[in-house]
Amino acid sequence: MVWDAIAIGSGMGALVTATQLAAKGAKVLVLERYLIPGGSAGYFDREGYRFDVGASMIFGFGSEGTTNLLTRALAAVDQTMETVPDPVQIHYHLPNNLDLKVHRDYEAFVQELSDRFPHEARGIRGFYGECWDIFNCLNSMELLSLEEPRYLMRVFFQNPGACLGLVKYLPQNVGEIARRHIHDPELLKFIDMECYCWSVVPADLTPAINGGMVFSDRHYGGINYPKGGVGQISQKLVAGLEKYGGEIRYGARVTEVITEGKRAVGVRLASGEELRAKRIISNATRWDTFNGLLKKTPLPPSEKRWQSRYKKSPSFLSLHLGVRAEALAPGTECHHILLEDWAKLEDAYGTIFVSIPTLLDPSLAPENRHILHVFTPAWIEDWQGLSPSAYAEKKERLAAELIGRLGAIAPNLTDFIEYKEVGSPRTHRRFLGREDGTYGPIPRRKLLGLLGMPFNRTAVPGLYCVGDSTFPGQGLNAVAFSGFACAHRVAVDLGL
């Protein structure tokens, strides 16, 4: 049998592509090496706790506009998701007692920030106002494949102002916009952190389009936590895929993309089985796709160019904790960022991210218990070549150090921990199938905004990439965008 499309992997990027294609009538097969779908948006169960593997601050569940891509992806295959609105996106605990909350309510956020930096009140409104300009352009058009000329023409004629607005911002980064409005060095550091906490690079390296999206949508569609955990999103997309005649196979690791006359025509599984399709879509990272699955094909010049511009971001040291409820003071927020010294913003083990999703959905833990997901950037090199005992000792030691730094959220946390699991970059590599456990691509140097990020087609005919190493990058709503775009391009190529 020849499938219309085979997707390698079932991360959010592939699931959105697969469901979109199935909804258009394509015969789609998804092959996932792990036991459940979702990749970095997956989950795992331990002792009555349901932990999110990675993502838990979820954009894309709004009900209005066009940027609510998770809502739209689910609706396309007749699925809905019950979500819990998060009143605060992030509670920042930063150097020099810079303690700030990003309220869902935009005015409340701007007021709180302006109270701390009264001399920059105008600049703050100017900067975030420009981010709204970008967002309003994006949110007024259907978000599909920028590789499809007829779509581009249609969108342009429907909304020329918005298109020209976006073209202007495509080559820009957040840093240059921030400096047009803001001069206070501490506030500029804060803007760096506002970027770093999702792009893992400071403002100068963060594309303006992504900044406009994140800094506005958190107040528009808002941050909403899916009831039952983040893993529910992929479970529902799989249910929708199957409803529309698609299939998914778990424990199906693809070891090679089969090419004939330079064209991708199928995949080989670890079991030796070969499967054929008219189009192959890789949800593995570009490094895993071109260095791993296409071993017999020389690295295309376009990929060499991409690798010279982008490198792998660090992975994470992750703690998944189950704690007694008394550990947290009443009124604690769900998401926190902690940093003690601005000089360490980008260092390994510098910035700490904390999510406590049970504050929004208590059903994820036993009664009177909470989940804490605590993570901090870490490089795989730091975890290689250790004996099993040295590896275990290092995980315990660094976990204890991290827990000791959480005083602003949960003093004496150690006394309340009932379950603890520590993951290193090696764990991320193993369970997520991502080279070096990377979070995703980051620019090697200052680039022209998003212009260097590739779309879905690749130099190998018949092979497409989807997910965070394609336009527009990391984050669930961003890879959902990439999924919509990929499905659109593949559907046009299949004549659907």
Ligand X SMILES: Cc1cc2nc3c(=O)[nH]c(=O)nc-3n(C[C@H](O)[C@H](O)[C@H](O)COP(=O)(O)OP(=O)(O)OC[C@H]3O[C@@H](n4cnc5c(N)ncnc54)[C@H](O)[C@@H]3O)c2cc1C
Binding site for ligand X (CB under 6 A): 8-14, 31-34, 39-41, 54-59, 253-254, 283-284, 288, 316, 318, 375, 432-434, 439-440, 467-468, 474-476, 479
Residue (219 or 434) nearer to ligand X, CB: 434
Residue (34 or 455) nearer to ligand X, CB: 34
CB of 292 to ligand X, least distance (A): 7
CB atoms within 10 A of CB 64: 10
Q: How far apart are CA 468 and CA 213, in angstroms?
A: 16
Residue (440 or 454) nearer to ligand X, CB: 440
CB of 297 to ligand X, least distance (A): 15
> What DSSP state is assigned to residue 314?
P
CB of 473 to ligand X, least distance (A): 8
Residue (202 or 475) nearer to ligand X, CB: 475
Structure tokens at 481: 């965008």
Q: How far apart are CA 11 and CA 239, in angstroms?
A: 15
Residues 82/226, Cβ–Cβ less than 8 Å: yes
Q: How far apart are CA 486 and CA 143, in angstroms?
A: 11
Residue (148 or 468) nearer to ligand X, CB: 468
For the chain, what is the radius of gyration of the CA atoms? 22
Residue (172 or 285) nearer to ligand X, CB: 285
Structure tokens at 208: 């303006």
Residue (138 or 182) nearer to ligand X, CB: 138
Residues 262/446, Cβ–Cβ less than 8 Å: no
CB of 374 to ligand X, least distance (A): 10
Residues 50/229, Cβ–Cβ less than 8 Å: yes
Please name the residues in contact with 240: beta carbons below 8 A apart, sequence gap of 6 or more.
19, 22, 74, 76, 77, 78, 79
Residues 297/259, Cβ–Cβ less than 8 Å: yes
CB of 199 to ligand X, least distance (A): 11
CB of 298 to ligand X, least distance (A): 20
Q: Amino acid identity of 205?
A: L
Closest CA to 275 of 9, 29, 15, 13: 29
Give the H or E element holding residue 463.
Answer: strand 463-465
3-class DSSP state of 113: helix
3-class DSSP state of 241: helix
Q: What is the 3-state secondary structure (H, E, C) of 180-223?
A: HHCCCHHHHHHHHHHHHHHHCCCHHHCEHHHHHHHHHHHHHCCC
The burial of 420, by beta-carbon neighbours within 10 Å (0-12 exposed, 13-18 middle, 19 or more buried), is given as: middle
CB of 232 to ligand X, least distance (A): 14
CB of 487 to ligand X, least distance (A): 13
CB of 33 to ligand X, least distance (A): 4
Residues 480/452, Cβ–Cβ less than 8 Å: no
Residue (151 or 316) nearer to ligand X, CB: 316
Q: How far apart are CA 117 and CA 125, in angstroms?
A: 12
Q: How far apart are CA 347 and CA 345, in angstroms?
A: 6
Residue (53 or 137) nearer to ligand X, CB: 53
CB of 223 to ligand X, least distance (A): 9
3-class DSSP state of 95: coil
Residue (120 or 333) nearer to ligand X, CB: 333
Residue (127 or 375) nearer to ligand X, CB: 375
CB of 89 to ligand X, least distance (A): 10
